[in-house]
């Protein structure tokens, strides 16, 4: 019998609703039909704020495919999965099975939102749109994060971060001018879409609590990425200005606003105000540049970008990054270009309140970065991600099923034939 079909005493580490009286989302229950990165990233923030995020995992796929992503993968546990799923609960249900659907709808009746990240044609096929669930819970908010939308040809297409960064123009704006288009080193299209979906969920739930009626909330990886084009999109659509790539990650219109090579590394320098440019050249012992008409304004510095950057670059190479930081920091916006390992020093993370530590039965002590939002009087209660189907028994008890009813559901295939396996589908495939 699958783990989900066995009634058991509630785990004291698991909360139906947040026990923290100041948890901002302590009264929010989200049923998350999610997998891989984009959706789980958005609901991770909801869980960190105290929401009860119940992760529905497909028994035929071995649960969330993120469970099987290396490195640090053992059985159905992985550090990749852990990074996106701390503080959530796992419930293995076969949504395509009639008995599984019965359990799912009983769960939906207790929830505020159903949240998914699937290929565009999947929400309707799985019966998780508002039209298909309103009879169960008229207040339910059905959030669908898809690759390219739930209608049209794009509904059939799988969406992945790299494809979206390519298609939305991001990659064409990233990298050296003579190099190839470049994807961000992080899955930013996934992350931004997840946060956009979480924002849409909160807006929908707030409205449903006011009106008593839920609705569909839709967003896509592609549209979320397009929205991030922001001012370059406004420049092009309004004035035909085409943003170009420039060396050393330079800003397309503000000069200087880029990386500079030093004697031993790189330094990021930003001069988004006239006073910063004057302070920069004065502190670098180049005060004459502030009086040079070629460099007297944003517009003139842009026109004479190459001349100015050549002079600054030559000067920056005469001292180390640390020496320039000591000289410029607090006067001009500057930062060392550090490695990820340097940025993740545990002492620094602890001082900023950003170090998360909690025990895990497979990985020992898991360390990660925490919620970057501070709410007065509230400290997130970070807990490990769930093992596959870990909370099925508890949730079935919460929903009022007897042991006999659970056994009958199991016999009817509500929880699949097995909660194991190593297969899986990606987040919007």
Please give the positions annotated as active site.
251
**Most distant CA atoms of the chain, gap in Å:** 86
Measured CA distances, 374 to 28, 93, 340, 379 (Å): 19, 35, 23, 8
CB 71 within 8 A of CB 63: no
Q: Please report the DSSP string for 23-57 in residue order.
A: -TTTT-EEEEE--SSHHHHHHHHHHHTT-EEEEEE
User: Which run of H or of E encompasses 113?
Assistant: strand 113-117
CA–CA separation, 116 and 134 (whole Å): 16
Tally of CB atoms within 10 A around 222? 21
What is the spatial distance between Cα 149 and Cα 161, in angstroms, rounded to a whole number? 15
Question: Which residues have C-beta within 8 Å of that of residue 408, sequence separation ≥ 6?
Answer: 99
Separation of alpha carbons 347 and 26, rounded Å: 30
Alpha carbon separation from 185 to 115, 131, 171 (Å, rounded): 27, 39, 11
Distance CA 11, CA 324 (A): 54
């Amino acid at each position: 019998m699958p783990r989900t079909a066995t009634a058991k005493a509630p785990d004291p580490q698991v909360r139906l609703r947040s026990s923290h009286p100041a948890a901002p989302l302590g009264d929010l229950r989200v049923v998350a039909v999610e997998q891989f990165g984009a959706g789980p990233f958005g609901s991770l923030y909801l869980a960190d704020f105290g929401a009860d995020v119940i992760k529905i995992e497909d028994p035929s796929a071995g649960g969330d495919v993120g469970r099987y992503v290396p490195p640090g993968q053992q059985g159905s546990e992985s550090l990749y999965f852990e990074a996106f799923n701390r503080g959530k609960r796992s419930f293995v249900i076969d949504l395509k099975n009639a008995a599984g659907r019965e359990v799912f709808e009983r769960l939906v009746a207790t929830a505020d939102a159903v949240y998914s990240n699937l290929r565009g044609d999947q929400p309707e096929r799985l019966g998780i749109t508002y039209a298909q669930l309103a009879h169960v819970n008229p207040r339910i908010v059905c959030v669908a994060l898809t690759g390219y939308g739930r209608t049209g040809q794009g509904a059939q297409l799988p969406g992945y971060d790299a494809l979206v960064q390519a298609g939305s123009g991001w990659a064409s704006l990233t990298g050296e001018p003579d190099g190839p288009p470049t994807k961000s080193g992080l899955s930013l299209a996934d992350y931004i879409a997840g946060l956009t979906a979480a924002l849409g969920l909160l807006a929908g739930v707030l409205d449903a609590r006011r009106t008593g009626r839920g609705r569909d909330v839709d967003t896509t990886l592609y549209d979320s990425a397009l929205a991030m084009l922001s001012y370059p999109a406004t420049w092009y659509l309004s004035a035909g200005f085409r943003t170009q790539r420039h060396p050393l990650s330079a800003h397309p219109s503000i000069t200087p606003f880029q990386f500079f090579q030093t004697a031993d590394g790189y330094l990021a320098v930003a001069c988004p105000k006239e006073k910063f440019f004057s302070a920069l050249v004065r502190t670098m012992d180049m005060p004459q540049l502030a009086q040079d008409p070629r460099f007297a304004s944003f517009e003139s510095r842009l026109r004479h970008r190459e001349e100015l950057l050549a002079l600054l670059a030559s000067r920056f190479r005469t001292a180390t990054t640390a020496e320039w930081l000591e000289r410029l920091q607090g006067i001009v916006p500057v930062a060392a270009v550090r490695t990820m390992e340097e940025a993740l020093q545990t002492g620094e993370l602890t001082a900023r309140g950003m170090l998360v530590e909690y025990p895990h039965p497979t990985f020992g002590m898991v360390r990660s970065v925490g919620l970057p939002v501070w709410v007065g009087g509230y400290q997130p209660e970070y807990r490990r991600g769930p093992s596959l189907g870990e909370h099925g028994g508890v949730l079935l008890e919460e929903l009022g099923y007897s042991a006999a009813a659970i056994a009958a559901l199991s016999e009817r295939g509500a929880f699949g034939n097995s909660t194991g396996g190593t297969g899986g589908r990606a987040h919007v495939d």
